[in-house]
């Protein structure tokens, strides 16, 4: 074979078949035929393949010094970092780059880790070999700790300098602060074409001194096709979102205790904003507070903040029991914290749903009648859902086996009743006592509270009472319960008669 400098411009050892050739390699070979046909003729064999077509093959030698930062196999190494959810995107990106890489690109994906191998070691070795690092960033609401860890390894391993890190992201996203030190490439046609030109044609990326596929400069339609394919892979454009519940998305920022700053931006829909007497527009949490504070019952606000605080610290939180009365319609809504998204920059978004509460409420009943009617309902439920049920349980367990387990069940049943009682304002001792008339009745109710507190404290103490004492305590509570129902019913009827 002749040592011809024109062939060295191909930059690789190649074997090209015109019947199934890479478009870039084929273009370079065609140019060689046009500019130096006598050289090409010496390299062309024309065997008859039986269908009248001739196959052309070319073998080209390359000088190793022409390509910088290549391993012994003569390939540029690219590591693509991505979230598991973006596996298909990363695989498609790998295929697109390799297709136009003229055989000179090797791409590492975590999916390529050999079965049974130490995958962390494999990733570290792949990162140390790589000339270029591409991070595929598609969703700001996800946790990006692992891709950032890989990016850190890439910049640190072997003290290699000058290797570019690129953040390839959906056009509608802005990389958060931890990623902004990377070169940003938004997924639109013009930017992706510029990136591909820098990679394949111009060798403008650090660590790549020789174009991988200069023929792409003469194939604008192929460049457009490659760019379109990558944009489609990376872009995350939501066409339509339908919400069938009322909701508030509140950006609480970097609040460490989960409290909601008054300046927190609120995102919602028109039906939710109407509940607060607000129209479409840009609103903050302070606007929500201003409207909510017009109501007498604002307990849902503190319960919501407590839930967000617990969630921010990774703790389970109590469900919100208090309800919110819509300012537009005669309906009650119960807020529910269903998500707390931590963004890549560490800020948080609390996502709150409002579900219609169709259970009984006393919002239209006069205050004292409402307190007493609610107390009577809860007292009857406490009698039959807790006291009578556990009285039977302990009476049937005369040997007092598994007493601790039964006590735990009793405590949980009491807690459930207390949570609902709290949501309806019944743990406000002073307000309930004031619903009664005269010092004698009020002192009677106060005494009931004191006896209840003593028994409750005993049940919740670390030194659990024995089975016999539990029976006595349940019997005492049953007597207190019927005494309260009688006094409360009498007072309720008096108030009705005064209307």
The CATH number for 457's domain is 1.20.120
H/E run at residue 252: strand 246-253
Q: What is the pLDDT of residue 413?
A: 86
In a domain, 227, yes or no: yes
CA distance 195 to 327: 54
Q: Are residues 377 and 340 in the same domain?
A: no
Residues of the chain with pLDDT under 50: 1-33, 36, 38-69, 159-160
Whether residue 35 is contained in a domain is answered as: yes
Token code pair at residue 164: 């570019």
pLDDT at 104: 83
* Distance separating alpha carbons of residues 329 and 103, to the nearest angstrom: 67
108 and 224 share a domain? yes
For residues 155 and 227, membership in a common domain is answered with yes
Contact yes or no for 133/165 (Cβ under 8 A): yes
The answer to whether residue 239 is domain-embedded is no
* 223 and 78 co-located in one domain: yes
- Per-residue b or e along 126-135, where b marks 16 or more CB atoms closer than 10 Å to that residue's CB: bbebbbbbbb
Structure token digits, residue 393: 């349980």
Domain around 29: 1-63
At 288, which CATH number? 3.30.450
- Which CATH number covers residue 166? 3.40.50.11530
215 shares a domain with 82:
yes
Residues 372 and 483 in one domain: yes
Token look-up 């979102």 returns 241
Whether residue 417 is contained in a domain is answered as: yes
Q: Are 242 and 236 in contact (CB under 8 A)?
A: no
Is 240 domain-assigned?
A: no
What pLDDT, on a 0 to 100 scale, did the predictor assign at position 13?
30
Q: What is the pLDDT of residue 285?
A: 95
Please identify, among 26, 41, 63, the residue that sits at the C-terminal boundary of a domain.
63
Q: Are residues 79 and 221 in the same domain?
A: yes
Residue at 464 is within a domain: yes
Q: Do 258 and 389 lie in a common domain?
A: no
SS3 category, 232? helix
- For residue 436, the 8-state DSSP code is S
Buried b (16+ CB within 10 A) or exposed e, 190-210: ebbbebbbbbbbebebebbeb
Q: What is the pLDDT of residues 50-98, one digit of tens each?
A: 333 333 333 323 222 233 345 556 688 899 999 888 898 999 999 988 8
Angle, CA 222 vertex, CA 165 and CA 109 arms, to 5°: 35
Predicted local confidence at residue 204, as pLDDT:
63
Let me know whether 75 and 14 are in one domain.
no
96 and 221 in a single domain? The answer is yes
Query: Is residue 361 in some structural domain?
Result: no
Domain termination residue (choose one: 63, 90, 115): 63
Closest-CA residue to 109 (of 121, 122, 99): 122
- What is the C-alpha separation between 160 and 206, in angstroms, rounded? 12
pTM confidence score:
0.45
Backbone angles phi, psi at 431, to 5 degrees: -70, -40
Instruction: Give domain status of residue 241, yes or no.
Output: no
What does the DSSP 8-state code read for residue 201? I
The answer on 474 and 411 residing in a single domain is yes
Last residue of a domain, one of 40, 63, 86: 63
Q: How far is CA 419 from the centre of its chain?
A: 29
Domain count, the chain: 4
Residues 338 and 251 in one domain: yes
């Amino acid at each position: 074979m002749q040592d011809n400098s024109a062939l060295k411009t191909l930059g690789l050892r190649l074997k090209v078949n015109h019947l199934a050739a890479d478009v870039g390699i084929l273009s370079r070979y065609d140019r060689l035929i046009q500019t130096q046909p006598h050289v090409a003729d010496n390299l062309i064999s024309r065997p008859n393949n039986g269908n009248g077509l001739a196959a052309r093959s070319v073998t080209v030698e390359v000088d190793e010094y022409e390509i910088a930062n290549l391993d012994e196999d003569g390939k540029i190494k690219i590591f693509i970092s991505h979230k598991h959810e973006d596996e298909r995107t990363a695989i498609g990106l790998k295929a697109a780059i390799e297709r136009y890489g003229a055989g000179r690109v090797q791409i590492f994906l975590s999916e390529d880790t050999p079965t049974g191998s130490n995958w962390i070691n494999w990733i570290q070795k792949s990162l140390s070999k790589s000339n270029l690092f591409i991070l595929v960033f598609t969703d700001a609401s996800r946790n990006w700790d692992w891709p950032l860890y890989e990016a850190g390894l890439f910049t640190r391993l072997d003290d290699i300098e000058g290797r570019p890190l690129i953040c390839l992201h959906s056009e509608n996203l802005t990389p958060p602060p931890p990623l902004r030190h990377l070169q940003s490439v938004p997924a639109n046609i013009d930017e992706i074409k510029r990136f591909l030109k820098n990679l394949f044609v111009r060798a403008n990326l650090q660590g790549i001194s020789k174009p991988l596929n200069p023929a792409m400069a003469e194939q604008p339609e192929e460049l457009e096709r490659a760019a379109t394919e990558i944009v489609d892979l990376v872009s995350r454009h939501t066409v339509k979102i339908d919400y069938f519940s009322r909701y508030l998305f509140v950006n609480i920022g970097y609040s460490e205790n989960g409290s909601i700053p008054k300046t927190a931006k609120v995102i919602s829909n028109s039906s939710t904003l109407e509940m607060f007497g607000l129209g479409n527009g840009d609103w903050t949490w302070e606007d929500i507070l201003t409207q909510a504070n017009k109501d007498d019952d604002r307990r849902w606000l503190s319960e919501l903040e407590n839930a967000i605080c617990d969630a921010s610290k990774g703790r389970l939180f109590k469900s919100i029991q208090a309800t919110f009365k819509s300012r537009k319609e005669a309906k009650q809504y119960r807020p529910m914290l269903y998500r707390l998204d931590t963004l890549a920059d560490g800020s948080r978004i609390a996502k709150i749903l409002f579900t219609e509460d169709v259970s009984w409420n006393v919002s239209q009943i006069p205050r004292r009648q409402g307190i007493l009617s609610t107390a009577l309902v809860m007292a009857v439920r406490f009698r039959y859902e807790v006291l009578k049920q556990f009285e039977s349980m302990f009476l049937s367990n005369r040997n007092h086996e598994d007493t601790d387990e039964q006590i735990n069940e009793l405590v949980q049943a009491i807690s459930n009743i207390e949570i609902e009682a709290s949501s309806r304002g019944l743990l406000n001792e002073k307000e309930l006592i004031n619903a009664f008339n005269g010092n004698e009745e009020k002192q009677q109710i106060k005494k009931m509270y004191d006896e209840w507190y003593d028994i409750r404290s005993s049940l919740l103490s670390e030194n659990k009472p024995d089975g016999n004492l539990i029976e006595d305590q349940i019997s005492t509570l049953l007597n207190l319960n019927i005494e309260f129902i009688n006094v409360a019913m009498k007072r309720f009827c008096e108030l009705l008669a005064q209307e």
